[in-house]
Structure 1
């Protein structure tokens, strides 16, 4: 189960006197090493007690007494921009929120792009000047301007990385550019800087596209609401809404807060929360969610949750938390990169020094090779290979109404081969409906339903409600009932139009002495064989009809099982506490070969344990309430209907927000594609690095080829990961 506080993030509580907890958006981070650099410099700032920087969500959370402008300047010093999103004060009277929270200017938003363009122009001018033979000193001046403009951010970030005793890609690139200029390779140095600057800009742009997959959810939540208080209609900030407020939602407006419809009827587009493509009819008593679009009619909604507890807010929070949880492959890559970069730096020093000492070759030739080695050593493509795929996949799934709670679960789901299903509410609708009506001895079907519904209208039993729902759908009017009596566990009876009628279990009718005809026995046998619950209707002398009720299969269940098999799920099984006869009937209808009925919760748990022994990795699909032990024991717990269901959101690893089992094959395909792309990215990054390391040592690669390979590899793994955004 996930905790209420994101991993590695400072808790909201526990602030000491004078402290604040602030959340910033940090723009300009294009790889995980950038985030680590920001975190290191922030940890050294006076007045900062805790800090957590997220590369995937570009958020930085700080517990501090330092002024906000001091924090923002520190971030700016290493080449990034911090914008305040939220500040929570230990003491609301303290003047902590004094930082610059205005929108960035055009220059501030586009500094990197503009400096990159300037670098490219001066590089081009320098190349023309050099190869035209006009003036060597003019060419060097042009190259110098290209290096200074294109390398400004890299040099500044590299300086701060060195101060914190780390060797990041900015430091390596800065050393390579300075070294190239020092040995007279001005054009090479300027080309390296320009290509690196272009690469950083492209990486930042493409990563921003993947981050928008979750930020788009935030845009669905309105900032204001029309509320009726003391007879007056007021427009108030959503943050000020209280539980019990009555909000008015006009056609075409988004619903500002979770609540229950008090009055009005309308269709509501719930796609932002549940991923449903078809609008849902909402009327009095129905639940609605913040961020969903009211389409056709006006609604009056009673607020049932605070803004921070709304389904949309919790979903955004859980998705952002999920994007920060490192998958096993990402943990491997991070460990690898920790040792990889220092080893390559040491190797570059040895290459620059040892060969000239033993061969007598010029130092400049081997220094050049060492510089090229430093450039290709940047592990950017490798480090970014996994998180970009995880962010894209989890963000896409969220937009489709599937909440995946972390990269580890995404990867694990991609390896699942066996899935166990609960029956009630998962493969079936979860509520009984009348599926068969058989009158006897010349009684009309409508007359039989009238008698049955009139008696059952007095009962609260779920089977009784199934009969009354059918009568309402058919427009059948109920007869007045006298002397109504419910017989616990057996049925009910009452007088209608002066005669006594009974409805209940066949065993009760047998106790009362009613004799069953051969036709009745045959129909009973057929209905029981199909797993249906049968109720008999009788007058004072004989049984006059039969009504069969069953929990019907969801429309998409059979198709879902078939699509899961096509997606590579080799084994499916149904585990239910219902009667084995009913389990068999449902299993046959949906195409599941194995089923187990009459299971208590602990027996379901035992079955899951057995399945794991035979199939290693097992997922369990249930409603998140009755199936909690089995969901917890499975490798992946998948809950149905998370929208508005707190326990499903908290306990499961994956939540189907719309209660639509048809989303499950999509989830399997997305997870498998993500797992495949992660493997492709890792292997591609490692092979490119290895190939260019060997070429550089052999003297067959130069500086601009090295930086082009490094930047190109990073962009390719990003673009490859972004394919997951389009998965449908």
Structure 2
């Protein structure tokens, strides 16, 4: 498949029509033309000349600056294409004066023509009585030609090809109005329609542009250090294993590890987190993040096109092109809507004069006005701007939504299933309770035994012991007994460290046994230390709950999620404890991965379910939910398996994502009601014969402007 950037698409309905025509070409059946992103995807065997001819019928064209990149297929598309794409469209944001994008230029030209037309129209209208008819009609004709000629040409072409889109309808209405001598109305129709096209184009452009500002975060070049010599290379030539130097204020070119240097890094472009993250030797960094103060030497571990950022940008771009069920329905509806309106228009023209003795010129005029109501532009526009805005807004927060479909689904979710470990909890054990029976020896000996172990529980214990600043002696010998714990000699005395089972060599007194049972009841994992005769003390260890989990669950309930369910492999006691603290509506413990999948299927019977996990061991459950949400500081498996990825390693931004998705859905519903409501009012006005051409146009134009503005409100971000 080749991919091209198409400029000059005038409306969503027109893009659909063009796509239909391209599909009829030889090898063209797989072609897609997206109005949202302005991209055309084609089988490389399709004749480009034919495609360009079809595009030209709507004044659209392939942007040649893009073509050579896109031809090189998927690999290059990820990086080169991104930059050109953002450079090209963003031309006028660079402040260099002469690199305006063509779309911007054409909208400027249209605006000037409309202003001139309006002045001429105004003059003819005001001096109505002073001018003779010929001069007045001449002025109207000039105004019509200036503001409506492109519509007129497209409309005539379509009329001969029996393709009925908005241009065809407008052309019939213009010809009709002129033929019954309604010059004034015809001119106003042409001007208003030009204005309509201008505003429609600008609305989508605004949404696309905010998307492209997002895509501009990609770094353009890197400073490679080789044999002590620095050289600046384009980002696409970076290889795994290159050592790059990143100075303060520069972008890190791709994913890698800090070799030397110390600095804080702003990762907002990737994770949406505004607070800088401290980095020093051995720590991972993301491409696209900005180095704040120190100089960093970074070992590149991924070519840019495989980096988290390139994947994110690619996904965000792709996301604009998927059609949601609502959009598919609207497009289908639009296909039948226009012919039905044309039939109604014919009836309005014919029935009153033929059967009811009506006046021909009056009803021809009414019929023409009905025709204009047949334009489904506002309806088709009710969805794409809102969706692109929603995806962009979430991407700014470090939340990747892989397509409009998933955004729409997120807005419908009423049940959210959480994996516990690593999602609601930090996934790292910490000592919650310490019970000491032998003050002198307990911490000292425990530290001695655990000091050299890399086991997660040992690390938690060492963290606790280090708080007491004691010097621990080295053990004489250590032996691990699997499933039980450790037997060790410290200062020539034998000690046992481990769970209850490893204490079989001693008789545990009743009061200590009660404390052991108590700690287990609280869902804690026990590590007990004993010598040959007595228990010296014990640690109760748990997985630390994330500070934000409780407030996130509350915020999700406020955002309209009815059921929050926690699923975990841990035993029921631990599950109960975490569930109570965090405030989820229900919980299930002791689940194997396949049990999680079954639970999700069960939940899905009674609602829309999203599953959220840390993306590594939750892949099956994420895949089986209607919506899979992964949190994984950019882990590849998370980005690939989930429908939505939170680029932070916490849930803090999830409630806002749900709220944005719900807003997008309600905006789309509202837009559809407004677009169809105004059409219906206009059609009802024909019954008393009150529908005028300009009311018909205003009903369409009003709806289009309104729908566009309402959709753009999704982009407004409250400063947090």
- Normalising by structure 2, we get a TM-score of 0.89
Contact between 1:505 and 1:535, CA under 8 Å: does it hold in 2? yes
Structure 2 residue 258 is matched with structure 1 residue 261: yes
Between the aligned partners of 2:26 and 2:706, the Cα distance in structure 1 is 40
With 648-657 and 26-35 compared, the bigger mean Cα shift is at 26-35
Mapped to 2, the partners of 1:349 and 1:662 lie a distance apart of 58
Counterpart of 1:17? none
CA contact (8 A) 1:214 1:316 kept: no
Compute the displacement of 1:556 (Å): 0.8
Q: Select the residue among 52, 56, 70 that pairs with 1:87.
A: 70
- Residue equivalent to 1:58: 38
Structure-1 residue corresponding to 2:94: none
Any idea what the Cα deviations from partners look like across 1:271-310, whole Å, max 9, x if unmatched?
2221213222223333222222222322222222222222
Match of 2:504 in 1: 511
Distance 1:164 1:545 in 2: 89
Q: How far apart are 1:139 and its partner, in Å?
A: 2.0
Segment drifting more, 308-317 vs 44-53: 44-53
Whole-Å separation in 1 of the counterparts to 2:220 and 2:324: 35
Relative to structure 1, is the Cα distance of residues 249 and 156 closer, same or farther in structure 2, using a 3 angstrom cutoff? farther
The one of 605, 617, 620 equivalent to 1:626 is 617
| Alpha-carbon distance, 1:140 to partner | 1.6
Counterpart-to-counterpart distance in 1, 2:26 and 2:296: 52
Q: Once structures 1 and 2 are overlaid, which stretch shifts more, 51-60 or 704-713? A: 51-60
- Pick which of 179-188 and 78-87 moved more: 78-87
User: Does residue 650 of structure 2 align to residue 660 of structure 1?
Assistant: yes
TM-superposed CA distance for 1:712, in Å, is 0.7
The verdict on how the C-alpha distance between 1:474 and 1:52 changes in structure 2, with shifts beyond 3 A counting, is farther
Q: Take 2:700 and 2:135, find their aligned partners in 1: how far apart are those partners?
A: 30
Q: How far, CA to CA, are the matches of 2:27 and 2:411 in structure 1?
A: 44
- Counterpart mapping for 1:453-492 below 5 A: 453-471=447-465, 479-492=473-486
Deviation at 1:252, TM superposition (A): 1.3
Supply the distance in 2 between the matched residues of 1:65 and 1:565 (Cα, whole angstroms): 52
Cα distance between partner residues in 2 of 1:516 and 1:524: 10
Question: Root-mean-square deviation (CA), in Å?
Answer: 2.8
Q: Look up the match of 2:630.
A: 639
SS at match of 1:550: strand
Counterpart CA distance in 2 for 1:430 and 1:361 is: 80
Q: Is the 8 A contact 1:227 1:245 kept in 2?
A: yes
Q: Residue deviations 1:350-382, cap 9 Å, x none?
A: 322343233444432222111111111101111
Evaluate the alpha carbon distance shift between residue 385 and residue 231 of structure 1 in structure 2; reply closer, same or farther with a 3 A threshold.
same
Quote the Cα distance in structure 2 between the aligned partners of 1:127 and 1:114.
20
2:562 corresponds in structure 1 to: 570
CA contact (8 A) 1:274 1:402 kept: yes
Q: Identify if the C-alpha distance between structure 1 residues 339 and 72 changes in structure 2 by more than 3 Å, giving closer, same or farther.
A: closer
Match of 1:696, SS? coil
Match of 2:112 among 106, 114, 121: 114
Aligned: 1:687 with 2:677:
yes
SS at match of 2:259: strand
Separation (CA, whole Å) in 2 of partners of 1:226 and 1:133? 73
**Alpha-carbon offset, residue 411 of structure 1:** 2.6
Q: Give the alignment of 1:525-674 within 5 angstroms.
A: 525-613=517-605, 615-641=606-632, 643-674=633-664
**Structure 2 residue matching 1:420: 3-state secondary structure:** strand
- How far does residue 59 in structure 1 lie from its aligned partner after superposition? 1.7
1:183 equivalent to 2:180? Answer yes
When residues 475 and 80 of structure 1 are mapped into structure 2, their CA distance, relative to the original with a 3 A threshold, is farther
Structure 1: stretches of 5+ with no match in the other structure: 1-9, 11-20
CA offset digits 1:71-122 (Å, max 9, x no partner): 66764552235324233259x9xxxx9xxx9865785562222222222222
Q: How does 1:213-612 map to 2 (within 5 A)?
A: 213-443=210-440, 448-471=442-465, 479-508=473-502, 510-513=503-506, 515-517=507-509, 520-612=512-604
* CA–CA separation in structure 2 for the residues paired with 1:177 and 1:522: 92
CA contact (8 A) 1:639 1:656 kept: yes
Q: Are the counterparts in 1 of residues 177 and 368 from structure 2 also a CA contact under 8 Å?
A: yes
If the length of structure 1 is used for normalisation, what is the TM-score? 0.88
Following the alignment from structure 1 to structure 2, what is the Cα–Cα distance between the partners of residues 467 and 226?
Answer: 44
How far apart are the structure 2 equivalents of 1:182 and 1:199? Answer: 24
State the distance in 1 between where 2:607 and 2:22 align: 44
| Distance 1:279-1:473 versus aligned 2 partners, 3 A rule | farther
Deviates more, 1:327-336 or 1:448-457: 448-457
Q: Does 1:204 align with 2:185?
A: no
Rounded to whole Å, the distance in 1 between the matches of 2:573 and 2:195 is 66
How many angstroms apart in 1 are the aligned matches of 2:264 and 2:675?
49
Q: Is the 8 A contact 2:611 2:625 kept in 1?
A: yes
- The offset of 1:195, in angstroms, is 0.9
Q: CA deviation at 1:425?
A: 0.8
For residue 4 of structure 2, what is the aligned residue in structure 1? 23
2:695 alignment partner in structure 1? 705
- Once structures 1 and 2 are overlaid, which stretch shifts more, 335-344 or 31-40? 31-40
What are the ranges of 5 or more consecutive residues in structure 2 without an aligned counterpart?
76-80, 82-87, 89-98
Q: Would you say the 8 A contact 2:9–2:58 is kept in 1? A: no
**What's the CA shift for 1:218?**
1.0
